[in-house]
């Protein structure tokens, strides 16, 4: 297993609980002779820290490991910024569900020490790129670890669009939009819209319609290497939007096209060695944890 010496720390802004955990994390790492580099915004929450400060990009270049303290949203943001580097990312949960940030603050030092000693499992998660074009000209670009979503924005009207997969026409649809999700995102927004749960190791993409104007429209699972294209109907009266992980918005107009494909770089996500995807689903989604007696 890889040895970690230079550790970048990224925290969610505006949370007292995150600050408390950051202080504990800093104290533990410094006491154990790790070289700690704080992300610039994170450093502002720890006045008098006395540590090196760097941008997320620089952390990806000079660190052996990045630790993200926050919720899954914090890790999603860090993943997009660090995906071009091969740096592993470890999440400490200070959010709600914590599908990605799976170290609990309650036993932070104990769990972290095991990971830093090499007791961890590693996963490669792929991301998606979205390119918006108007009359063939690029208008916007975004990246997502969870999902790319075409939606009406502030309007309550349905969107008309055409779907193409690998250049082949699939259907024309009127709905509240479409969720294009990775396996990582299959337990997030896509799940709430009726999509399937996909194991993180699958090389697949799921397309989940949002309140389609037909009963026969169902989620479609396609190969992870597929190129997906959405063409917004020119007859639309509203200007829809494309959302990347719910954190980055791209404005669209009637007639625009959105091309979605796998990003060439993968996120290197690590977990404690006892990590179990199905156990996480049981805990976070409220699945039954015992087998009823027959």
Residues of the chain with CATH 2.60.200.30: 128-264
Question: Which residue among the candidates 33, 41, 72, 233 is catalytic per the annotation?
Answer: 72
Domain 6-118: state its class: alpha beta
pLDDT band at 291 (very low <50, low <70, confident <90, very high): low
Question: Which residues are paired to 249 by β-bridges?
Answer: 243
* CATH 3.40.50.10330 domain locations along the chain: 6-118
For the domain with range 128-264, which CATH number is right: 3.40.30.160, 3.40.50.150, 3.90.550.10, 2.60.200.30?
A: 2.60.200.30
Between residues 290 and 25, the one the model is more confident about = 25
HSE of 136, CA atoms in CB hemisphere, 13 A = 0
Non-local (6+) Cβ contacts of 133 within 8 A are 139, 256, 257, 258, 259
Structure confidence by residue, pLDDT tens digits, 51-62: 999 999 999 999
Q: 292: pLDDT confidence band, cut at 50, 70 and 90?
A: low
pTM for this predicted structure: 0.93
User: What pLDDT, on the 0 to 100 scale, is given for residue 2?
Assistant: 64
| 223 part of the active site | no
Binding-site positions for NAD(+) read 72-73, 146-147, 157, 174, 176, 187-192, 247
Q: Torsion over CA of 136, 141, 146 and 148, rounded to 10 degrees? A: -40
The binding site consists of 72-73, 146-147, 157, 174, 176, 187-192, 247
């Amino acid at each position: 297993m890889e040895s970690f010496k230079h550790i970048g720390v990224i925290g969610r802004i505006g949370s007292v609980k995150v600050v408390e955990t950051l202080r504990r994390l800093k104290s533990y790492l410094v006491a154990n002779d790790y070289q700690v580099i704080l992300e610039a915004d994170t450093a502002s929450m720890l006045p008098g820290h006395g540590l090196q400060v760097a941008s997320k990009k620089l952390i990806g270049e000079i660190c052996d490991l990045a630790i993200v303290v926050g919720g899954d949203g914090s890790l999603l943001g860090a993943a997009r910024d660090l995906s071009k580097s091969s740096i592993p990312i470890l999440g400490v949960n200070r959010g709600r569900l914590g599908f990605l940030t799976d170290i609990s603050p309650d036993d932070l030092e104990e769990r972290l020490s095991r990971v830093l000693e090499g007791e961890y499992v590693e996963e490669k998660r792929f991301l998606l790129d979205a390119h918006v074009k108007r009359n063939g000209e690029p208008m916007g670009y975004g990246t997502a670890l969870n999902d790319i979503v075409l939606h009406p924005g502030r309007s309550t009207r349905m969107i008309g669009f055409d779907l193409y997969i690998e250049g082949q026409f699939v259907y024309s649809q009127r709905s509240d939009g479409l969720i294009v999700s990775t396996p990582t995102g299959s337990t997030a927004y896509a799940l709430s819209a009726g999509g399937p749960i996909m194991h993180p190791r699958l090389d697949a993409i799921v397309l989940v319609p949002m309140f389609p104007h037909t009963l026969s429209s169902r989620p479609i699972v396609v190969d992870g290497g597929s190129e997906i294209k959405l063409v917004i109907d020119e007859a639309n009266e509203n200007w829809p939007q494309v959302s990347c992980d719910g954190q980055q918005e791209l404005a669209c107009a009637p007639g625009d096209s959105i091309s979605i494909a796998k990003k060439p770089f993968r996120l290197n996500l690590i977990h404690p060695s006892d990590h179990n995807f199905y156990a996480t689903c049981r805990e976070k989604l409220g699945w039954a944890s015992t087998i009823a007696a027959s």
